[in-house]
């Protein structure tokens, strides 16, 4: 498979789930890996739809790039589903908040008079599972970050969510949210795996795309 001429949807960055009008539940995702993937795929001649949450890096300008800015997990799912039937490949690289506040406050929560504050949380929508359930001809590449039983947990996600491969991020002092470098393991349904070296995310994105072109 070549990415040239294909339409590729990439989710990148983090989601933000409102607590009140000024606060939210989020994470430290910079969007660096997802945006690096977008740049690599554009260089290969793909048409890229970038569904982008909160991020800390510049987004490239390109005639073959469409950017959909989103905030919450629900926003991201809706944006993905609006484009899903048009795409050939999905890279689900965003860091989606796992929980959201069940009851969002309409006004800013004041700390005056409070000695503690409890929030009731509920799970956010599972975007990857939803995409997998609606998959037709699309190839879906999921991403995961695990801190214990990493490969076993990632392999479980791969099989449960009806996707084609999963990219496991290996957390360390030099990898993870906000870092310029990363190291990954790609797992497949047949049990095969491919592991990268520690690389700059920009370089790793290109190598990952080349590996997937050969694999599929």
> pLDDT, tens digit, for every residue of 94-141?
999 999 999 999 999 999 989 999 999 999 999 999 999 999 999 999
> pLDDT, tens digit, for every residue of 19-54?
999 999 999 999 999 999 999 999 999 999 999 999
Whether residue 8 contacts residue 90, with contact meaning beta carbons closer than 8 Å, is answered with: yes
Domain spans in the chain, listed from the N-terminal domain onward: 7-101+114-215
Catalytic residue (one of 27, 134, 153, 162): 27
Whether residue 46 contacts residue 4, with contact meaning beta carbons closer than 8 Å, is answered with: yes
Whether residue 25 contacts residue 65, with contact meaning beta carbons closer than 8 Å, is answered with: no
Annotated active-site residue 148? The verdict is no
Q: How confident is residue 157, by pLDDT bands cut at 50, 70 and 90?
A: very high
7, with CB counted inside 10 A (0-12, 13-18, 19+), is: middle
CATH number of 7-101+114-215: 3.40.50.10300
Strands (E), the chain: 7-12, 17-18, 24-25, 47-52, 65-69, 89-92, 99-101, 121-123, 139-145, 165-169, 181-182, 184-188, 193-195, 199-200
């Amino acid at each position: 498979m070549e990415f040239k001429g294909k339409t590729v949807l990439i989710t990148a960055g983090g989601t933000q789930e409102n607590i009140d009008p000024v606060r939210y539940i989020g994470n430290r995702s910079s969007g660096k890996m997802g945006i690096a993937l977008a740049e690599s795929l554009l260089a290969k001649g793909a048409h890229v739809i970038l569904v982008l949450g909160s991020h800390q890096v510049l987004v490239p300008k390109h005639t073959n790039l469409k950017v959909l800015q989103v905030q919450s997990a629900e926003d991201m799912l809706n944006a993905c589903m609006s484009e899903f039937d048009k795409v050939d490949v999905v890279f689900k690289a965003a860091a989606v908040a796992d929980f959201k506040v069940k009851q969002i406050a309409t006004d800013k929560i004041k700390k005056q008079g409070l000695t503690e504050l409890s929030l009731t949380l509920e799970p956010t929508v599972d975007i990857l599972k939803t995409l997998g359930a609606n998959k037709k001809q699309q190839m879906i590449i999921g991403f995961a970050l695990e801190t214990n039983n990493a490969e076993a947990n990632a392999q479980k996600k791969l099989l449960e969510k009806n996707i084609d491969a999963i990219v496991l991020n290996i957390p360390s002092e030099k990898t993870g949210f906000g870092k310029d470098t990363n190291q990954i393991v790609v797992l497949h349904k047949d049990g095969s795996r491919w592991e990268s070296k520690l690389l700059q995310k920009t370089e790793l994105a290109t190598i990952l795309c080349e590996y997937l072109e050969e694999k599929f």
